[in-house]
């Protein structure tokens, strides 16, 4: 099973702002519970993609990851 962006976004919605390491562990558990696996490099690539598209922001030396609410609202309006 390939890692999908919605899994990362769902975990961020559930947990709020968190460190990259904690988010990876949480996403890894979620994917494994569905019978899949995720590599650290696959997770990092998807995280960078989400950041470049404006869905999340990664800040600081502790690599705090947080959602960008305005982008999610715009996406929800388009799909409605």
Under DSSP, the state recorded for 17 is: S
CA distance 61 to 72: 25
More confident residue, 77 or 8: 8
Cβ atoms within 10 Å, residue 56: 23
* pLDDT higher than threshold 70 for residue 2: no
* pLDDT higher than threshold 70 for residue 68: yes
Cβ atoms within 10 Å, residue 19: 14
Average pLDDT, the chain: 87
Q: What pLDDT was estimated at residue 63? A: 84
Between the alpha carbon of residue 45 and those of residues 7, 32, 59, 62, the distances in Å are 14, 19, 16, 18
CATH number at residue 62: 1.10.10.10
**Domain, as residue range, for 32:** 5-79
| Structural domain total, the chain | 1
């Amino acid at each position: 099973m390939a890692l999908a962006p919605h899994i990362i976004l769902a975990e961020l919605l559930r947990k709020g702002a968190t460190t990259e390491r904690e988010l990876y562990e949480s996403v890894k558990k979620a994917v494994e519970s569905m019978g899949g696996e995720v590599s650290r490099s696959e997770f990092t690539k998807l995280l960078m993609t989400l950041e470049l598209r404006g869905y999340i922001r990664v800040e600081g030396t502790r690599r705090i990851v947080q959602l960008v609410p305005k982008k999610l609202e715009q996406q929800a309006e388009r799909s409605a």
